Structure 1
């Protein structure tokens, strides 16, 4: 476990990620990180949007069902 300290940055609060956490998250300065609620009541920090895969699956389903319509509209 890595302990993080909450610090003031101007009018905001934030944490500084140690280089071990940055390396494990495969992130860099300016990149987006997503803080989501975990089922156990805690939080999870991830370098990708966990809902993105679900949204893409729904989009692919729509594309499959309406392929001909979308093809006609693209003309």
Structure 2
């Protein structure tokens, strides 16, 4: 099976007051599962810039918490009583 990377989308930068914004097409919003007023997170990756609807710092913290809960399951069960 051949891999076909997603096609690039051209986005327009627009002036918004003293700032610059970007218009995201509906299909991009749908893919990100976001809507007006939601937060997006921009991170630098080895492959360029990533735009995500999930805070990568929160994901990292939750992953660490899950690991601690898994490792200390017995202690946490005793404390929960």
**TM-score, normalization: structure 2?**
0.69
TM-score by length of 1: 0.73
Alpha-carbon RMSD across the aligned residues, in angstroms, is 2.3
Runs of at least 5 residues in structure 1 that lack an aligned partner in the other structure: none
Unpaired stretches in structure 2, ≥5 consecutive residues: 1-7
Report 1 or 2 for greater relative contact order, CA contacts < 8 Å, sequence distance ≥ 6: 1
What is the distance in 1 between the residues matched to 2:66 and 2:29? 32
Number of aligned residues: 71
Range moving further from structure 2, 11-20 or 46-55: 46-55
